[in-house]
Structure 1
Amino acid sequence: MLQSLEERHKKGTIKESFFPFLVELQSIDASGGPLAGEHNFYRGGDIVVSKANGGPKLTKGNFEMDYIGELQGKGELQELKCYMTDGSATVYGFERITGSIGDKVGSFVLEHVGKYENGVLTFKRTVVQGSGTEELTGILGEINFESGSAEEFKITLNYYFE
Structure 2
Amino acid sequence: MELSGTFQITDWQENVDKELSDGAKLSTAVVQQSYTGDLTGSSEVRYQLCYDAHGDAIFVGFETLTLNADHAPAILVLQHSGAFKNGIASSQFTVVASSADASLLGRSGSFKSTEGGKAEYQLCMPRIG
- Report the counterpart of residue 49 of structure 2 in structure 1: 81
Q: Secondary structure at the match of 1:138?
A: helix
CA contact (8 A) 2:112 2:120 kept: no
Aligned length: 124
Structure 2 counterpart of 1:157, from 102, 116, 123: 123
Higher relative contact order (CA 8 A, sep 6+): 2
Identity rate, percent:
27
For the aligned residue pairs, the C-alpha RMSD in angstroms reads: 2.8
Normalised by the length of structure 1, the TM-score is 0.63
Q: CA deviation at 1:153?
A: 5.3
Runs of 5+ consecutive residues of structure 1 not aligned to the other structure: 1-29
CA contact (8 A) 2:92 2:109 kept: yes
- Give the counterpart letter for 1:138 in structure 2: S
- Report the counterpart of residue 110 of structure 2 in structure 1: 144
Q: 1:102 to 1:37 in 2, by over 3 A?
A: farther
Normalised by the length of structure 2, the TM-score is 0.77
What CA distance in whole angstroms lies between the structure 1 residues aligned with 2:17 and 2:76? 28
CA contact (8 A) 1:70 1:101 kept: no
- CA deviations 1:41-89 (Å, max 9, x no partner) are 1023101111034152111011111112331111111111011002220
